Amino acid sequence: MARSGKSRTSAAEIHDQKLVRGNGGELHQIAEGDGDALTTAQGIPVSDDQNTLKIGERGPALIEDFHFREKIFHFDHERIPERVVHARGYGAHGYFETYESLAAYTRADIFQRAGEKTPVFVRFSTVAGSKGSFDLARDVRGFAVKFYTKEGNWDLVGNNIPVFFIQDAIKFPDVIHSVKPEPDRAFPQAQSAHDNFWDFISLTPESMHMIMWVMSDRAIPRSFRFMQGFGVHTFRLVNAEDESTFVKFIWKPKLGMQSVVWNEAVKINGADPDFHRRDLWSAIQAGDFPEWELNLQLFDQDFADSFDFDVLDPTKIIPEEILEPVPVGRLVLDRMPDNFFAETEQVAFMTQNVPPGIDFSNDPLLQGRNFSYLDTQLKRLGSPNFTHIPINAPKCPFHHFQQDGHMAMRNPVGRANYQPNSWGEGPRENPQKGFATFADAEEGQKVRLRPESFADHYSQARQFFISQTAPEQRHIVMALTFELSKCENPAIRERMVAHLLNIDETLGAAVADKLGIKRLPKPADAAIPPRDDLPPSPALSIIENGPESFSGRKVGVLVSPGADAALLNALRVAIEKEGAVMEIVAPRVGGVEAADGSWIEGRHMIDGGPSVLFDAVALILSEEGAESLAGEAAARDFVADAFAHCKFIGFTSTAAPLFQKAGIDPAADEGFVGLDDPKAISTFIESCRKLRLWAREMAVKL
């Protein structure tokens, strides 16, 4: 209710009458119970938050206006430096539940008791793009987990890819500089498809295994919920008897893995740049809590000595077929942060955060990271007291003598701020319970040398490639072709093809052909000859390991006025029974009137709900509705894209005019499921469990 607001109404009257002044100076009544008195950060009540202090109504502003000065000052300082890598991310709270005691392997408190629940915060991210970039960049995804254990915070700062570009941390600035926007022109954003990146990569053979992964579908995941996660490095577990076991950490999503296709990714970035955020947010808000199982690959020195590659080399995996991962607990994400900045932006992950019972290996990348992460937190959060920020503080008791510094929230009380002291005050070190580094024997000369055992750069890249299904191999060829086509310098393209020939001849030849390279270069010189005897590892394929379920996925149903409401309802019931979600796309977001006179609410209007946002689609249209939609480009794209992206399409035969105008034949393949008979709904759901009809791909030539 607006009242004619004259500045003559006194502040006291405004307060007493529970009024609030709008931007134009007008007064509005506020609801009962609303509005504690607005104050400055110093707690001083504010009388007017709409007008700066001036001399006269039209006069100059006064510097004496401390409320204005404080408000603008604070606003001007709202940003902190974004992460130099992994700037764009999204986090959630949850818990980790231990299945069985792992006391035989580790004394880490988190693994001692079956059923123990430990609070966690997880942040997923892309690597290259800045904070405001889009979600579906072709990129590695960060998968960083902070466990608030009873013996301090353990951060498992991993990725969705189990290997890395480089073998030594000293090369990190180089690989990151090369992928970031080129420094003279400041583009491209969040993309590896440019000369600098491929220039660096083509000069860095150790990155070839990683390149296979980032050119595969792993780099364009459908959802954070459908990705694996990896600790990458070899770590150690240390038990109460000080015995060490090597370990690799692997997260496996309960809903199975799934990726999108590149043409789809490009369109999603336009239709919904926050696609991955929204997906996690919506799932958690709907109570569909995503879950992963933590798996361990445990091994001893004998295994390490007998393995084909060096377990300290972060460009190598240990195939699951050689060393079976053992599930040891589950991670459930069940709560979004209250505030993005306070939690997701300020969370500070550090590889060096390990509790007693978990320790490092000599992986040179891990050793370098252990230096970098502390350093970066000081830069970003601006104070050595970043552990005072609630998201970073341990949830177990902690006691130390660190004090003062910028923004100190907690200082030790009492007289003694050192130890040993004879005042009987303060904490003491504890040789029994405290973190003790595994006492591995080390000796050697101080050298800058890459071990010989890190020299094979191609064999596992080849193993990855031959472990992929035919569509997945095609995607790798297409991704490499796309990326290298964006390089202006032909020499870079040829250098890359020379490496690909060492990985797999058919791969190198296919990419060369698609790039129009007439004469194949000779294969790159390899430090040691690539092996071709490593068998395929089926665990490396996404498609081979499909979930056989449509749970957690989404169907977009295009409706028109006169649609069959009973069919729509039956479809919704079946989709929800599968654990999936149905969203209605209508000509207008307000919805449409069904044939039986009932009202169908829309969730998206057709331009705002393209089929790239869904895992499968259905068309429930009246004949006139289909005729009318056939005249709309957005509706034709809806169908044509769903077809091109190999999605399953349910339809009523009345949709024929739309198919026809979109140039699509619903008899083309078994990806189309007629829904005129509601009994066919179960066939549609069964098809959807396959997620995509890859057999169609050759026909649509994506």
Which of 300, 291, 287, 363 minimizes the C-alpha distance to 327?
Answer: 291
Which of 257, 275, 266, 140 minimizes the C-alpha distance to 209?
Answer: 140
Cβ distance to ligand HDE smaller for residue 247 or 584: 247
Q: How far is the CB of 506 from ligand HDE (least distance, A)?
A: 30
Binder of ligand HDE out of 106, 125, 460, 502 (CB under 6 A)? 125
Tokens of 609: 């709900």
Tokens of 144: 């960083």
Q: Which stretch binds ligand HDE (CB under 6 A): 158-166, 281-289, 586-594, 672-680?
A: 158-166
85 binds ligand HDE (CB under 6 A): yes
Q: How far is the CB of 445 from ligand HDE (least distance, A)?
A: 23
C-alpha 475/C-alpha 481 separation (Å) is 10
Phi/psi at 524 (5° precision): -60, 150
Q: What letter does residue 182 receive in the DSSP assignment?
A: P
Q: How far is the CB of 280 from ligand HDE (least distance, A)?
A: 14
Q: How far is the CB of 81 from ligand HDE (least distance, A)?
A: 9
Q: Which stretch binds ligand HDE (CB under 6 A): 155-163, 194-202, 528-536, 693-701?
A: 155-163
Cβ distance to ligand HDE smaller for residue 85 or 586: 85
Phi/psi at 159 (5° precision): -130, 170
Q: Which stretch binds ligand HDE (CB under 6 A): 5-13, 101-109, 372-380, 568-576?
A: 372-380
**Residue 369: enclosing H or E segment and its boundaries?**
helix 364-381
Number of residues that bind ligand HDE (CB under 6 A): 24
Q: How far is the CB of 172 from ligand HDE (least distance, A)?
A: 4
What are the Cα distances from residue 228, in Å, to 249, 302, 418? 11, 28, 45
Residues 6 or more apart whose Cβ sits within 8 Å of residue 212: 461, 464, 465, 476, 503
C-alpha 682/C-alpha 67 separation (Å) is 64
By CB under 6 A, the residues from 624 to 663 that bind ligand HDE are none
Taking a C-beta distance cutoff of 8 angstroms, is the pair 63, 43 a contact? no
Taking a C-beta distance cutoff of 8 angstroms, is the pair 32, 51 a contact? no
89 binds ligand HDE (CB under 6 A): yes
Strands 2-3 and 649-651: unpaired
Tokens of 4: 């004619």
Binder of ligand HDE out of 107, 180, 248, 369 (CB under 6 A)? 369
269 binds ligand HDE (CB under 6 A): no
Which of 122, 119, 125, 113 minimizes the C-alpha distance to 88?
Answer: 125
Binder of ligand HDE out of 121, 164, 224, 299 (CB under 6 A)? 164
Binder of ligand HDE out of 120, 169, 581, 649 (CB under 6 A)? 169
Give me the active site residues, please.
86, 159
Residues 6 or more apart whose Cβ sits within 8 Å of residue 338: none
C-alpha 108/C-alpha 435 separation (Å) is 10
Q: In 77-219, where does DSSP find H-type helix?
A: 172-179, 195-202, 208-214
Tokens of 550: 């449509």
Q: How far is the CB of 130 from ligand HDE (least distance, A)?
A: 13
In one letter, which amino acid is 206? E
Contact flags string 418-457 toward ligand HDE, x per CB under 6 A: ----------------------------------------
Q: Which stretch binds ligand HDE (CB under 6 A): 71-79, 368-376, 531-539, 553-561?
A: 368-376
Q: How far is the CB of 314 from ligand HDE (least distance, A)?
A: 6
Q: In 138-261, where does DSSP find H-type helix?
A: 172-179, 195-202, 208-214
Q: How far is the CB of 250 from ligand HDE (least distance, A)?
A: 12
Which of 663, 662, 616 minimizes the C-alpha distance to 642?
Answer: 616
156 binds ligand HDE (CB under 6 A): no
Cβ distance to ligand HDE smaller for residue 347 or 594: 347
Contact flags string 326-365 toward ligand HDE, x per CB under 6 A: ---------------------x-x---------------x
Tokens of 58: 């039209």
Binder of ligand HDE out of 5, 142, 290, 561 (CB under 6 A)? 142
Phi/psi at 280 (5° precision): -70, -45
3-state secondary structure of 461: helix
Binder of ligand HDE out of 83, 209, 276, 661 (CB under 6 A)? 83
C-alpha 81/C-alpha 437 separation (Å) is 33
Taking a C-beta distance cutoff of 8 angstroms, is the pair 195, 485 a contact? no
Half-sphere exposure of 397 (CA within 13 A, CB side): 2
| Residue whose beta carbon is closest to ligand HDE | 142
Binder of ligand HDE out of 21, 88, 107, 123 (CB under 6 A)? 123
Q: Which stretch binds ligand HDE (CB under 6 A): 81-89, 354-362, 391-399, 645-653?
A: 81-89
Strands 358-360 and 235-238: antiparallel
Q: How far is the CB of 157 from ligand HDE (least distance, A)?
A: 5
By CB under 6 A, the residues from 212 to 251 that bind ligand HDE are 232
129 binds ligand HDE (CB under 6 A): no
Cβ distance to ligand HDE smaller for residue 83 or 645: 83
By CB under 6 A, the residues from 522 to 551 that bind ligand HDE are none
Cβ distance to ligand HDE smaller for residue 172 or 224: 172
Residues at the site binding ligand HDE, with contacts judged by CB under 6 A: 83-86, 89, 123, 125, 142, 144, 157-159, 164, 169, 172, 232, 347, 349, 365, 368-369, 372-373, 376
